[in-house]
Amino acid sequence: MNHGFTMEKPFGRIGGDSALLGALFLLVGLGMASLYSASYGYAMSLGKSGGYFAFRQLMWLVPAVIAFGFGALVPLELLQRFIVAIVLGSMILLLLPFMPVIGISKNGASRWFGYNGLMFQPSELFKVVLVLYLAHILSKKAEKLGDVINGVFPPLLVALVGAVIVLGQNDFSTAMLLGFLAIVMFWIAEVPVVFFAAMASIGVPLVSLAVLTSDYRLKRVIGFLAPGFDPADLSYQVNGSLRAISAGGIWGKGLGQGTLKIRSIPLVQSDFVFSAWTEETGFMGVLAFAALWVFFLWRAFKASFAAPDSFRSHFAFGLACYLAIQTLINVMVASGAVPATGIPLPFFSSGGSSLLSVSLAAGFLFNVSRSAATASSGERQGGNV
């Protein structure tokens, strides 16, 4: 099989998994409707128009469609050719929030850069770049993964450097997500088990130290372990979220009819949009939400398993895990199952950087599904010769 770079073949025929595409459209549509309904009252309480947050998200939808189209149609071999430049470029972007004039800090975190009201969070893009790089390098070094120095250390170093820079932005949750994505990629590449044992022996103490040496993170953990200790401060967000979820009942109050979302849930337009969705759609809405995500992820993992080479298979698997993990963490935070973090809900939470990242990831997943369909078609044609 020839996996060389050609221009005609990748762009000549769209193909791809139409079921994956349909599920994506539904996720985007439900996400926009949910964001509009969840943020309407909150925006009014801030003295803005009711559709303020939804309109801002719509403005990012055009770049997001372009990002999806790029991911869906670009020859993946082209990205492999320029992988060094892509990784270095993403690392430079990670450093821009620390730069004077363009760096933007909020609530003690330096996660954004921008100018004149426009902001971008580069760590969102780095999630996709990290999966791309690890899929490339681990498939390329498949025969050397037993060699720690020449096989495992280079990709581990890239993941660690990226995570450390993000941690320096005071974004602990995203740094942890990057670390977990790296572990997933090493696991599917079948790195020896002793590697994971070594990483656990080093990583667990370091993560514990990072939590214990930060008052903010320690308060989050205390608020999670003892929700009644200081409900007006440490557990305020999660308690408000749980009240909204409980108020939804079986059928919910109806879209636009939720009341607790207005003042009881801070950041309802981003971190806790799931709470507003549950208040208004109830248990049945949660089931529909879960069914749609399960279907989308099933098609994504199916594309990974059907991919014609290990690079595409690892890439799609990592991207599917990225979307699955981020969705699961957000829902668990809203439900009080884990300490509060700043992880957005893909396609639902307000935020242009997140929307661009998840749209690019979805585009790449569709790209891999196109490759799988092409390979399957070629096998059928070969069998008929």
Q: What is the pLDDT of residues 213-265, one digit of tens each?
A: 887 787 777 777 766 665 555 567 778 888 889 999 999 998 888 877 766 67
User: What is the pTM (predicted TM-score) of this model?
Assistant: 0.91
Confidence of residue 8 (pLDDT cuts 50, 70, 90): very low
The yes-or-no verdict on residue 206 having pLDDT over 60 is yes
Q: What is the pLDDT of residues 283-296, one digit of tens each?
A: 999 999 999 999 99
Query: 299-323 in b/e burial notation, b at 16+ Cβ within 10 A?
Result: bbbbbbebbbeebbbbbbbbbbbbb
E strand or H helix at 103: strand 103-106
Q: What is the mean pLDDT of the chain?
A: 88
The structure tokens listed for 219 are 């308060």
Domain boundaries, the chain: 26-73+251-372, 82-213
Residue-level pLDDT at 243: 87
Confidence of residue 208 (pLDDT cuts 50, 70, 90): confident
Residue 238 DSSP code? H
| Parallel, antiparallel or unpaired: strands 103-106 and 118-120 | unpaired
Residue 100 DSSP code? T
β-pair partners for 113 = 103, 120
E strand or H helix at 312: helix 310-334
| Residue 10 to residue 13: CA distance in whole angstroms | 7
Q: What is the pLDDT of residues 85-126, one digit of tens each?
A: 999 999 999 999 999 999 999 877 899 999 887 899 999 999
Residue-level pLDDT at 233: 58
The yes-or-no verdict on residue 145 having pLDDT over 90 is no
The structure tokens listed for 62 are 């055009």
The yes-or-no verdict on residue 16 having pLDDT over 60 is yes
Confidence of residue 9 (pLDDT cuts 50, 70, 90): very low
Rg of the Cα atoms in the chain: 21
Tokens 């569709």 found at: 366
Residue-level pLDDT at 143: 83
Residue-level pLDDT at 219: 75
Q: What is the pLDDT of residues 354-368, one digit of tens each?
A: 999 999 999 999 999
Confidence of residue 382 (pLDDT cuts 50, 70, 90): low
- Phi first, then psi: give them for residue 377, nearest 5 degrees: -65, -40
Residue-level pLDDT at 325: 97
CB atoms within 10 A of CB 78: 12
The yes-or-no verdict on residue 380 having pLDDT over 80 is no
